[in-house]
Structure 1
Amino acid sequence: MSAFIVETLIKILILVLVFSFLGGFATYIERKILAFFQRRLGPSYVGPWGLFQVIADGIKLFSKEDILPQNANKIIFTIAPVIAMMSAFVSMAPIPFFGNFMIFGYEIRPIISDINIGLLFFLAMGSVGIYAPLLAGLSSSSKYSLIGAARAAIQLLSFEVVSTLTILAPLMIVGSLSLVEINNYQSGGILNWLVFKQPLAFLLFLIASYAELNRTPFDLLEHEAEIVAGYATEYSGLKWGMFFLAEYAHLFAFCFVISLIFFGGFNPLWIIPGGIAIILKVCFFVFLSMWARATFPHVRPDQLMYMCWKIMMPLALLNILITSIAILL
């Protein structure tokens, strides 16, 4: 029992450290990709190819003055970014990042907790993250932050409904909420990938995921073209950075989940080992989110809600109906 506890604590520590680094490094990668699409250099002065820009940004965040608004609720104001980080990292608990492997005769399972409702736990813990922008806006004593929090609540709640309904159709086929079982269902080869059986579910879930993650063109939570930063208007320094580090960590988590559900997960791909295969898939979906940011213009709030409730929601329900009829027949 003690060995299990120690192993679990080590896994948690590795997960937090690795995805914190990836979250910071993803900012560099995104700036480079956007620069490529927009025919400019991006980070290039600090270190070779601008690689040390990540370290410079980290030093800036840690050393920048932490400002608390005079009339803000200081406790809630401080807790809000912590909730964002916790939501992102706790949601990773049921994700099997790779297949099992051996080290010195000891089997390592690269998953913190293989629960039979893993996917439901992931979606539930991700939805808890809505309290971060909501509490941030409410506690800031700023009308700009309050308006940003209201937009965040509307957007996140709307697309959580769509993503949850969308994922029901693949679950009806697999018959399990465990991400390990969903991965094992697709172990027969590339033709067993659920993306070929549920292409509409994949497309809807991908769009809803990017909307939940506040990715462009759906970044209404803190619109980069606005003078203010939505719910994060009154934040500075490390607290501000925690919101966006959580956003990038959640992006990697969603890319892992999309790869596990629709693209065969960590099953071997031809001659490519399973561990390398899932990393390539995750990298592709991370790149795809950055490609979308560089390509598509921002949408208005009314356009976003129209797409959610009048296009994506009916399509998700129709997909559930067609899938249920196909299973019965």
Structure 2
Amino acid sequence: MTHTQQLLADDPLWLIILKVVALFAVGVVLTLVMINAERKVVGRMQQRPGPNRVGPNGWLQSLADGLKLAFKEDIMPVLADKPVYFIAPVIATIPAFVAFSVIPFGGEVSIFGEPTVLQLVDLPVGVLVVLACSSIGVYGIVLGGWASGSPYPLLAALRSAAQVISYEIALGLSIVAVILYAGSLSTADIVEAQQTGWYVWLLLPSFVVFVIAMVGETNRAPFDLPEAESELVGGFHTEYSSLKFALFFLAEYVNMVTVSAMATALFLGGGMAPWPLSNLDFFHNGWVQFAVFIAKVAIFLFVFIWLRGTLPRMRYDQFMRLGWKALVPISLLWILTIFAIRTYRNSEGGDLSTLLVVLGIVLAVVLVVAFLVPDKPTRSAEVEFVSDYPVPPLDLEVPTPARHRLRASASSTASTVSTAAPSKSEIENV
């Protein structure tokens, strides 16, 4: 048992309850701040003020919106499956908060004289707990769309299921390299293993894949296909209102905070300050580490906002192609590279520089082949257009009934007669 696990095992009941309440408060407060900050930052990007009426400089607008949702009329569709319709938002929200329990927010501190760690529980499989919670959360979306009794929420729910399953694979593969270097699935052990250097530099491809996959995992722009208003009205929550809609809204933003906290713990050293500040004793304090951790999470949340205000929504086939044809193969190649490097390094008499050169040549050949092989054209050969998007052929002839053909020929004859040039006799008569 590690020192962190020993401290957490000695926590009294009152301290555990206090940590649970604090985690819930952190999730809710960060959600309220994130919603308001998103509206302000996007407003600044679009050269408009954003919320500026409710509270000091408009910072209480999210709280006012939450109170408004609480007092709105709760409307349930007639065709809805009432038990499933009611429990779906709860299923989407609870796993998002449960994932907070294994996040190491800081180091050792003293709370009312009791030494502890700013973490609720340190499980040997903490990383798998976060992945499991994100997988369970999609059930709330799917059940919410199905239980609404409407076709458009159902379509959005199915899109979300395919999206989460696809990007969950890329997300899991990007974590494998971190687990190999840390030698543990515990989030606290992974943070501790980064004392000599953050994994964002050592495992840069894994970090890039993780960041892209976490945006797709949370259904955020430019991957917000389940909520595409122009295609699916309002998405899977079209038939929801009042507090049930607020729970879906809360789950989305809490998931954003959760994946940002996981990225901080896995790749940015958790609450450790960057070099050379990490050499100062001041930044070894547990509460200071908590502040550093929140600052890193805020950077990731700003990236979410930045993407929403910058990039247009991707087409569905482009989005799925990115996950299956780019992120997953890159992650697999990167994992094989790490396995080869570690195996070659552990073997006797291995020359690491030679291995890196060979692996670089192999990866370069694979990438060149992947980019040079064209996609299969889906339109006729006469049109120079290459895409995977399903479109009908341009030379498709639709058979028409006989009466339509007769009517078309009669109209064309009449138009020819009316537009014909007058004869010489007609001009002389005039």
Range of TM-score over shorter length: over 0.9
**2:302 aligns to what?**
287
Match of 1:228 in 2: 233
Q: What letter corresponds to residue 268 of structure 1 in structure 2?
A: A
* Matched residue, 2:418: none
The one of 299, 308, 316 aligned to 2:323: 308
TM-score, normalised on structure 1?
0.95
Q: CA deviation at 1:108?
A: 2.6
* Superposed displacement of residue 2, structure 1: 10
Asked if the contact 2:127/2:185 (under 8 Å) is kept, the reply is yes
Closer, same or farther in 2 for the Cα pair 1:301/1:227, shift >3 Å?
closer
C-alpha displacement of 1:106: 1.3
The corresponding residue for 2:21 is 13
Q: Provide, for residues 170-207 of structure 1, a one-character-per-residue CA deviation record: whole Å limited to 9, x for no partner.
A: 2111110000000001113xxx1101111000000111
Match of 2:113 in 1: 105
Aligned equivalents of 1:92 and 1:171: distance in 2?
A: 19
- Does the alignment pair 1:204 with 2:209? yes
Tell me what 1:175 maps to.
Answer: 183
Q: Which has the larger displacement, 8-17 or 160-169? A: 8-17
Deviation at 1:226, TM superposition (A): 4.5
Percent of residue pairs identical: 39
Letter of the 1:161 counterpart: I
Deviations 1:45-77 (A, max 9, x none): 222211221221011110111111001011100
- Residue 67 (structure 1) aligns with: 75
> How does 1:243-322 map onto structure 2 within 5 Å?
243-269=248-274, 270=277, 271=280, 272=283, 273-322=288-337
Q: 2:122 & 2:218 partners in 1: Cα distance?
A: 24
Distance 2:31 2:319 in 1: 26
What runs of 5+ residues in structure 1 fail to find an aligned partner? none
Match of residue 103 from structure 2: 95
Change (3 A) 1:103 1:91: closer
Q: CA deviation at 1:25?
A: 2.1
Partner of 1:91, secondary structure, is: helix
CA distance in 1: counterparts of 2:236 and 2:112, whole angstroms: 49
Q: Does the 8 Å CA contact 1:23/1:246 hold for their aligned counterparts?
A: no
Q: 1:275: Cα distance to partner?
A: 2.4
Q: CA RMSD in A?
A: 1.5
- Aligned partners of 1:307 and 1:10: how far apart in 2? 43
Pairing partner for 2:41 from 13, 18, 33: 33
Paired positions, count: 326
**Higher RCO, 1 vs 2 (CA within 8 Å, ≥6 residues apart):** 1
Map 1:136-151 → 2, pairs under 5 A: 136-151=144-159
Quote the Cα distance in structure 1 between the aligned partners of 2:298 and 2:217: 19
TM-score w.r.t. structure 2 length? 0.74
Q: 1:104 to 1:14 in 2, by over 3 A?
A: closer
> Are the counterparts in 2 of residues 265 and 278 from structure 1 also a CA contact under 8 Å?
yes
Runs of at least 4 residues off by over 6 Å: none
Q: Which amino acid aligns with 2:311?
A: F
3-state SS in 2 of match to 1:86: helix
Q: Mean Cα displacement is larger for which, 24-33 or 102-111?
A: 102-111
- Residue deviations 1:262-319 (CA, integer Å, cap 9, x gap): 1111123315542222122111111011111111110011000000001111001001
Residues 224/48 of structure 1: CA separation in 2 closer, same or farther (3 Å cut): farther
In structure 2, distance between residues paired with 1:227 and 1:161: 26
Letter in 2 for 1:32: K
How far apart, CA to CA, are the structure 2 residues paired with 1:300 and 1:16?
Answer: 36
Contiguous gaps of at least 5 residues in structure 2:
1-8, 345-430
Question: Aligned partners of 2:228 and 2:49: how far apart in 1?
Answer: 23
Find out whether 1:130 has 2:146 as its counterpart.
no
Secondary structure of 2:110 counterpart: strand
Between 1:223-232 and 1:51-60, the stretch displaced more is: 223-232
TM-superposition CA deviations, 1:111-147 (whole Å, max 9, x none):
1110011011111111100101100011110001110
1:65-116 CA distance string (max 9 Å, x none): 1111001011100100001110100111111111120134311322111001
Asked if the contact 1:95/1:111 (under 8 Å) is kept, the reply is: yes
Alpha-carbon distance in structure 2 between the residues aligned to 1:105 and 1:243: 39
